Structure 1
Amino acid sequence: MASRQPESRIVGANGEGALVVIPTFNERENLPHIVGRLLTAQQGIHVLVVDDSSPDGTGEVADRLAADDAAARIHVMHRTVKDGLGKAYLAGFAWGLERDYAVIVEMDADGSHAPEQLFRLLEGINEGADLVIGSRYVPGGELVNWPKRRELLSKGANTYARLALGAKVKDITAGYRAFRREVLEKIGLDQVESAGYCFQIDLAWRSLQNGFTIREVPITFTEREIGESKMDGGVIAESFLNVARWGIRGRLDRLRGR
């Protein structure tokens, strides 16, 4: 599908028309900093914090941020279960689609995604892309303070996904991304069961399978300074098995002429 050339900007110069979904679990120290930076960088953006009943009080911090925001740009969703990053994002996507945001953005709460670089993703949308991924592995992308073991794991996972799926996305596991609402409406979110790394691969693969265009823009990914990573072995195993299954299914479909 060729990139569309929109007649006008989908997102305003200050982020108007876009919603940034930020899932949280035990991020009370990080959240005020990341939200503050985001609203400074993109003054018209709206933010939805999706908190999975954090025992450290992150949800209460989010409520205070929303109450103190006179422009009503900060919104909070409290979920009663902790069932994975993917489910938190799906809940946030549904909330945003119901409220007619033109673009919905994924962003981590831990500071690894620089809000000051969000404009690169939004520009990609305005220039015609359907899904824009903030990539660590295209020219200009950088990693800061990331342990070598994590870097090797990430690069290995991306290489494996590219080979298994036949996709040309260099950073298909990346979690800093912007979707046109039409993508999320069409790709079958009600069928997504993935979490973590696999969730990101799943949505990118569904986007490609439905004929949407993906563009990668360079970002600087910075290792969190506060708190601990939520990555675990179960998420990695899920990713490996699901990607293999999708790759086999895709090849079979091509052989059958679908």
Structure 2
Amino acid sequence: MLNAEWKIPNYTLIEYKPKANKYCVCIPVINEGEKIQKQLGKLKDFSNIIDIIILDGGSTDGSLGDSFLKKMNVRALLTKQDKGKLSAQLRMGFSYAISEQYQGIVTVDGNNKDSVEDIPRFIEKLEDGYDFVQGSRYVPGGTEVNTPLSRKLAIKFIHAPFISFISGFHYTDTTNGFRAHSLDFLLDRKVQPFREIFETYELLGYLSVQAPKLGYKVIEIPVSRSYPKGKIPTKISPLKGNWLLINTLLNLSLKKYDVKLHNRNELLKEKL
């Protein structure tokens, strides 16, 4: 099912157990220490309904030791050996999940901020035929704890309205990485997420826009996201983070990430 034209980062793979479920959860992580360990402790309870796959960006803090991951019922550890950040990690995770013939992929950050106990809800929506399921702390039933004011304002008044406008779907929590994706959506030739243009955080916004634009079944479901009290630890400076956010939104509005069909056969397929 893999396409030779896909651009997938080089990575190493350790498989701790065979595939056991029809869905998997991919967790991008880098140097999250106790946070990812606590999160995996919660996720272990759901390993009977979803396979756990770690997408490591190159952690050096010793938090992802083999014996620990085995104890947590992790199915596989993919460690990136290439350039790129979150989008590159997602590309390698999506490609692995597709090669393993999972029917849907849940993603969640590896920083222990998200309510992983809501994973059964994502599976339920995939089973109901939804292709893109966005977790939201801002729909009825969702909760937020200690969200930094600057981030909350950026989501509510910039990012979510902008993504909603260009996608045609009313989103409320578009920076939230707690999501689910169907294989039909990810394999659509008009989506093509396996491109090197997706390197930092572009893929999150792009998939949010493309799913409703292409007529896929989209829904937001309630989740919880909790930040610790006090200064928020982050790997991105506010200046750089805001620039990446704005730059991605501008590129989305200019359709920079959209697939260009040039080949005559591709254009004929598009018309069909």
TM range (shorter): 0.7 to 0.9
Deviation of the 1:176 alpha carbon: 0.5
The superposition leaves residues 174-214 of structure 1 with CA deviations (integer Å, 9 ceiling, x where unpaired) of: 21111112211112122362355532110122222332111
Residue identity opposite 2:211 in structure 1: S
Normalising by structure 2, report the TM-score: 0.76
In the alignment, is residue 91 of structure 1 matched against residue 95 of structure 2? no
Q: Measure the CA separation in 2 of the matches of 1:51 and 1:208.
A: 30
Deviation of the 1:171 alpha carbon: 2.6
SS of residue in 2 equivalent to 1:27: coil
Match 2:244 to one of 206, 231, 235: 235
How does 1:203-222 map onto structure 2 within 5 Å?
203-222=207-226
The equivalent residue for 2:68 is 65
Match 2:30 to one of 11, 25, 30: 25
Normalising by structure 1, report the TM-score: 0.80
Deviation of the 1:224 alpha carbon: 5.0
Residues 23 and 109, structure 1, Cα contact 8 Å, conserved in 2: yes
Q: Measure the CA separation in 2 of the matches of 1:205 and 1:123.
A: 22
Q: Measure the CA separation in 1 of the matches of 2:86 and 2:50.
A: 22
Residues 194 and 202, structure 1, Cα contact 8 Å, conserved in 2: no
Residues 31 and 109, structure 1, Cα contact 8 Å, conserved in 2: yes
The superposition leaves residues 212-240 of structure 1 with CA deviations (integer Å, 9 ceiling, x where unpaired) of: 11111011111257982244234213223
The equivalent residue for 1:104 is 105
Deviation of the 1:101 alpha carbon: 0.8
Residue identity opposite 2:179 in structure 1: R
**Higher mean C-alpha displacement, 27-36 vs 157-166:** 157-166
**Higher mean C-alpha displacement, 201-210 vs 139-148:** 201-210
Give the % identical residues.
Answer: 25
The equivalent residue for 1:150 is 151
The equivalent residue for 2:122 is 121
Residue identity opposite 1:177 in structure 2: R
Residues 143 and 220, structure 1, Cα contact 8 Å, conserved in 2: yes
The equivalent residue for 1:4 is none
The superposition leaves residues 92-132 of structure 1 with CA deviations (integer Å, 9 ceiling, x where unpaired) of: 00001000111111111111211111111111112221111
Question: Gaps spanning 5+ residues in structure 2: where?
Answer: 1-19, 259-270
Q: When the two structures are aligned, how many residues end up with a matched partner?
A: 232
Residues 51 and 77, structure 1, Cα contact 8 Å, conserved in 2: yes
Deviation of the 1:82 alpha carbon: 4.9
Q: Measure the CA separation in 1 of the matches of 2:210 and 2:86.
A: 18
Question: Gaps spanning 5+ residues in structure 1: where?
Answer: 1-14, 250-257
The superposition leaves residues 60-97 of structure 1 with CA deviations (integer Å, 9 ceiling, x where unpaired) of: x242333435xx64210111235110110110000010
Supply the RMSD in Å over aligned alpha carbons.
2.6
Distance 1:157 1:220, change over 3 A: same
**Higher mean C-alpha displacement, 197-206 vs 215-224:** 197-206
Q: Measure the CA separation in 2 of the matches of 1:150 and 1:82.
A: 27
The equivalent residue for 2:254 is 245
SS of residue in 2 equivalent to 1:19: strand
Residues 122 and 180, structure 2, Cα contact 8 Å, conserved in 1: yes
Higher helix share: 1
Residues 111 and 224, structure 1, Cα contact 8 Å, conserved in 2: no
The equivalent residue for 1:193 is 197
**Higher mean C-alpha displacement, 192-201 vs 109-118:** 192-201
**Higher mean C-alpha displacement, 177-186 vs 85-94:** 177-186
**Higher mean C-alpha displacement, 206-215 vs 188-197:** 188-197
